Structure 1
Amino acid sequence: MISHATLFMLILMGIAIVAKNQSLLVAVLFLLVVKWVGLGDKLFPLLQQKGLNIGVTVITIAVLTPIVTGDIGFKHLAEAAKSSYAWIALGSGVLVALIAANGIDLLQNDPHITVALVIGTIFAVAVLNGVAVGPLIGAGVAYLTMKAVTFFMNLGG
């Protein structure tokens, strides 16, 4: 008999295939293989506790790679300082990082939010031609939206 968890993952895998979402497909396959080979009891707690930090580290490595390869250097930094669009991008980077920080807390404290974010991301990618940017910024935006709703609800009494 197939477990509810496995069925859920297989449904997500089907959605990933239909939506052509390679990241989700790889994640689902990885987790299912870990479960099926019996490593889940040891690896899943680690992934739940440290997974987001590991993911952020991998993304940071990807962002810093052009610096270490020499594709981006001080010359580019000096040129960017002269561009108003670069200053907008700098501010946007700061804002997104701060929003995503709240997303980490939300994902760790409300795991059911992760499912909703994944489904929303898959929908946007599959139907609206969106780009999967990951659950952190989505969780951060959700966090800010929930705080705004709470704030306005409390104003009413």
Structure 2
Amino acid sequence: MSFDNIPILIILVLALIAKNQSVAMAAAILLIIKLLGFSSWFSVLESKGINIGITILTIAILAPLASGKITLRDMYDAVVSPIGLLAVITGVFAAWLGGRGVMFFKASPDTITSLILGTIVGISFFQGIAVGPLIAAGMLSLVAGLFGK
């Protein structure tokens, strides 16, 4: 194994320590792809992976609507309450941040590892949960914008 595998191994180890299954699984799969010599897949994963992942996440979010577990009445009742309205506003803001995060990743791919490491540290030492590197990248893009970066 070469030294260029060390960064993904570090992420894998940190994810295992933090018990972050998503990051650990992703790092392990990428390492296996690389070790098996399928490195040509990386360009496809880089160009299509986020869209595929977001589609799968959206399917999971919409599944309760499709199955009937959440009805139109449930949606209405949730939205008309003060906390429901705040939830809509927060959801819009989070989605907007995620969109900025995608653009930021494309413009600054070197930040991906740092954001993931920061997420793992937050999980390991601050009882956090992985809210997603895309939203973190969106927040970073806002802060970087304040400093003209």
For 2:59 and 2:3, how far apart are their aligned partners in 1? 36
Structure 1 spans left out of the alignment, 5+ residues: 152-157
Is the 2:101–2:135 contact (alpha carbons within 8 Å) kept by the matching residues of 1?
Answer: yes
Name the structure 2 match of 1:72: 70
Residue 98 (str. 1) matches residue 93 (str. 2)? no
- What is the match of residue 109 of structure 2? 111
Q: With structure 1 as the length reference, what TM-score do the two structures score?
A: 0.90
Report what 2:16 is aligned to: 17
What is residue 34 of structure 1 aligned with on the other side?
33
User: How many Å separate the matches in 2 of 1:61 and 1:10?
Assistant: 31
For 2:46 and 2:132, how far apart are their aligned partners in 1?
16
Deviations along 1:36-66, one digit per CA (max 9) or x if unpaired, are: 222221x110011111111111111111011
**How many residues are paired up?**
149
Residue 130 (structure 1) aligns with: 128
Q: What is the rounded CA distance, in whole Å, between the counterparts of 1:9 and 1:96 in structure 2?
A: 28
Map Cα deviations across residues 104-150 of structure 1 (whole Å, 9 max, x no partner): 01111211110110011010000001000111000000001111222
* Identity level (%): 34
Q: Which runs of 5+ in 2 are unaligned?
A: none
- TM-score (normalizing by structure 2): 0.95
| CA shift in 2, pair 1:91/1:34, >3 Å | same
Bigger shift: residues 135-144 or 79-88: 79-88
Q: 1:87 aligns with which of 82, 85, 88?
A: 85
Q: Assess if the C-alpha contact under 8 Å between 2:79 and 2:88 holds in 1.
A: no
Q: Which ranges of 4 or more aligned residues in structure 1 deviate by more than 2 Å?
A: none
* Alignment RMSD: 1.3
